[in-house]
Structure 1
Amino acid sequence: MRKSVAIILILLFAKVHSQSQSNIIIADSLYATGNYTKAINQYAEDGSIASNLQIARAYNSIGNYEKAITQYQNVLSKDAGLQIAQFELGKLYLKTDDFTSAEYLFLELTQVAEDNPEYHYYLGETFRKQKKTEHSLSSYKNAVVTDSTHLRSLFQLGKYYVGQRKKDSALIFIDYGLRFYENDVAMINLKALAYYKNDEYVKALPHFERLEELGEENEYLYEKLAYCYFKDWELNKAKTNYKKVLEWNDENADAYYMLGQVFSKDKQIDSAEYYIKESIAVQQPFLVREYVALAGIARSKEDLKSALEYYKLAHEEDPDDALVYYNICTVADQYYKDPKVKLKYYEKFQERFGNKNDYMSKMVTKRISELKEEIHFNVK
């Protein structure tokens, strides 16, 4: 009799276990194909920690972060040391900007498993989001110490030092990353920017060219390439790339302006004038540099009337720019014959900017004295 009961109990357990396994297989299949709501219902019938973890993941995938967090917390209440649940919950806290909770979990994980670079990296991300810069850098460096090929940490370190214009520090981490991932677009771009932001345009150029070789095509890249070619006096390549910028964005005022500068450097004055005028046409008006550039072109053509008009337009845009008004004075000095008219311009400069005691102020003071002497002797 006892033997029969034991057999029945074993069969019942086997049946229940088989049914449970069947539910999990169905739930896993539903989860894998993105049918998350039905997967949640299937997992709920099992009730194990593994199934509860999958429920948390399903809610996360749906975007119901509040329920996902609750489920992760439920899992950890049953097994507080389950690292996968802590890690995924920490990333979810980070995603939902609960930085305090994320920091707590990732700090705990780095202490439990200090040899895991991902834990250090995400702790660094948590600090970065909170603008705790020194802490974030320390965490990224810990990730790299643990795994010298941890590309995301190397990237964040390189990016920080590029932003700080600390080229040598940036290149240490960037070059280390490129040693393992030589065609990584983000790292190559960082290396180009490390030189570019340090005004080393010729050194930046081959790295921007490498991005193009790897299939990158965008407004940003062509703009950087064009400017590097411009600084390297490869004017035809600069023109080609600025025109590519305009194919991407025909309202890019900087590209029009720089095309004007390229043509000006290439002594093609009419084309320079055309593109700078196009820059004016497409942008919201703060046009000081464009008007100053057109004034300079007019001066090179000995068209003093136009130069004076452009400088006056620039002055209207920025009345506080002393250099612009000084140029008005010097062009007016050349353009007008009457010393009294010339004097009014210089006196206005002295009234507005004369207290700076710089080179321009001294030159204006000297010229005012000369003009007053000239007027005095003309009156006699």
Structure 2
Amino acid sequence: MSNIKRHLFIIGLLAQASLCFSQTEILKTADSLSAVGETTKAVELLKSIEPKTESVYLKLAKIQQASRQNEEALQNYKTVLDQSPGKILTAVDYGELLLETGKADMADSLFTELSKKYPENAAFMYRIGLAKEMKKDSTAMRYFFKTHSWDSTHQGAIYKTAKYFLKNGKSYNAIMLCNTGLRARPNNVSLLSILGQSYSKTLQFEKAIEPYEKLISLGEGSEFILEKLAKSYRVTGQDEKAIETYTKMLEINDANASVHSNLGVLYLNQNKPDKAQQHFTMALLIKKQPVDNEYVNIGLSFKRQENFQEAYRNFKMALGENPENQRALIELAIAADAIYEDKEKVLKYYQDFVDKYAETGRNDMLSIAEYRISQLKKEIHMAK
């Protein structure tokens, strides 16, 4: 090599080194700007670099993705992959952003190609499933099941398959899967939710309490979870905890008629008819038609307080809402029995109930009515 050529070669190397050094400093500066929220300045700085290396395009893509400039980020990821198709991590980042932005077809195609190159990679198989699910492709579940068969601890695949089992009446399978996943990640809120629901579905309310309580401790105290927990407390006889949980639900939404109704029943069980009546009345005011059961519950609250006039009035209103409300009809007769001296009139109330429900009525209600009919007939006969 001649002295001139050697000289030019050295100058070229120095220029390249200088450029690399300069870009390295710029990349560090862009990182610093992005870290303090100056993403616009960071992007402008990176865009000013010419020519751009792969490192610059990647840095641009990541900063743009973090600041929700998704289309620009996708383009920069693609630029890198066009130049270097073998960059697997960049391909994964690109595919993840395709999924995030709803470009299911492109994501499906990309992860399918990656899966062909790495046929036992569970992560790629799972993402094919996500893309197909996004496209409402019925084959998506096959990919989630295959992912789980390759990696029994894959949290996403466990969630998808457990949710599928819960939805399709195989709650015990869902319970087994969730417990497997939670052994690896005890605070996985998605699996805790499926586990709690699966226990509830199989009427294992005592076991359902723990995952619901844990969800709330992890900050996942939505109305849905609180309602599930409250029911578990109620069914297992933990009335105070049920009341406390239903009350928390009212702090989120005080117009939930079902919560007011449940609180009313709980307070009635505790022999607190005043509080029960307040909640039954609120449920009545909130709930859309029909509201016959709310009138029945208010009537029962007045009955507990031995205010039979008001009880009678509410049972009447319940029957006005729904003439087929069996409980309302027998309770109307009992209230009438307490307030009317005219035994012939009271007898008719009980007889109306038996006439209507002789074949289809509840045995306990029919027994009450038949017993009182027998007693009233004797009293009427003795009075003559």
Aligned to 2:267: 263
Change (3 A) 1:13 1:322: farther
> 2:288 corresponds to which letter in structure 1?
P
Answering whether residue 79 of structure 2 is matched by residue 74 of structure 1, we say: yes
Return the alpha-carbon distance in structure 2 between the equivalents of residues 65 and 148 of structure 1. Answer: 33
Within the candidate set 168, 172, 176, 2:176 is matched to 172
Answering whether residue 92 of structure 2 is matched by residue 87 of structure 1, we say: yes
- Bigger mean CA deviation after superposition, 245-254 or 271-280: 245-254
Q: Note the 1:50-61 alignment, pairs <5 A.
A: 50-61=55-66
Aligned to 1:376: none
- Report if the CA contact (8 A) 1:24-1:46 is conserved: no
**1:9 offset after TM fit, Å?**
2.1
- Bigger mean CA deviation after superposition, 161-170 or 182-191: 182-191
Change (3 A) 1:149 1:32: farther
Q: Note the 1:1-380 alignment, pairs <5 A.
A: 2-31=2-31, 33-34=33-34, 35-40=38-43, 41-42=45-46, 44-132=49-137, 134-211=138-215, 219-281=223-285, 283=286, 285-286=288-289, 287-298=291-302, 306-307=310-311, 309-311=313-315, 313-314=317-318, 323-324=324-325, 326=326, 330=330, 335=336, 359=360
**1:257 offset after TM fit, Å?**
1.7
Q: TM-score, normalised by structure 1?
A: 0.75
Deviations 1:261-292 (A, max 9, x none): 112223333332222123334x3534444223
Return the alpha-carbon distance in structure 1 between the equivalents of residues 79 and 316 of structure 2. Answer: 71
**1:332 offset after TM fit, Å?**
6.0
- Report if the CA contact (8 A) 2:27-2:59 is conserved: no
Alignment coverage as a number of residue pairs: 352
**1:2 offset after TM fit, Å?**
1.6
**1:333 offset after TM fit, Å?**
6.1
Change (3 A) 1:154 1:33: farther
Give the secondary structure class of the aligned counterpart of 1:323: coil
Return the alpha-carbon distance in structure 1 between the equivalents of residues 245 and 170 of structure 2. Answer: 28
Deviations 1:27-82 (A, max 9, x none): 24314541444444435423233332333333323323233333333333333443
> 1:267 corresponds to which letter in structure 2?
N
**1:342 offset after TM fit, Å?**
7.1
Change (3 A) 1:284 1:22: farther
- Report if the CA contact (8 A) 2:77-2:90 is conserved: yes
Return the alpha-carbon distance in structure 2 between the equivalents of residues 59 and 206 of structure 1. Answer: 42
Change (3 A) 1:135 1:24: farther
- Report if the CA contact (8 A) 1:28-1:39 is conserved: no
Change (3 A) 1:295 1:141: same
- Bigger mean CA deviation after superposition, 28-37 or 299-308: 299-308
**1:125 offset after TM fit, Å?**
1.9
Percent of aligned pairs sharing the same letter: 23
> 2:148 corresponds to which letter in structure 1?
V
Return the alpha-carbon distance in structure 2 between the equivalents of residues 105 and 239 of structure 1. Answer: 52
User: Structure 1: any 5+ residue segments left out of the alignment?
Assistant: 364-380
> 1:6 corresponds to which letter in structure 2?
R
- Report if the CA contact (8 A) 1:260-1:273 is conserved: yes
Return the alpha-carbon distance in structure 1 between the equivalents of residues 258 and 65 of structure 2. Answer: 43
Q: TM-score, normalised by structure 2?
A: 0.75
- Bigger mean CA deviation after superposition, 103-112 or 82-91: 82-91
Deviations 1:316-339 (A, max 9, x none): 6xx6x6633x55655666649669
Superposition RMSD in Å: 3.9
**1:172 offset after TM fit, Å?**
2.2
- Bigger mean CA deviation after superposition, 113-122 or 210-219: 210-219
- Report if the CA contact (8 A) 2:296-2:315 is conserved: yes
User: Structure 2: any 5+ residue segments left out of the alignment?
Assistant: 366-384
**1:260 offset after TM fit, Å?**
0.8
- Report if the CA contact (8 A) 1:24-1:42 is conserved: no
Change (3 A) 1:198 1:84: same
Change (3 A) 1:322 1:129: farther
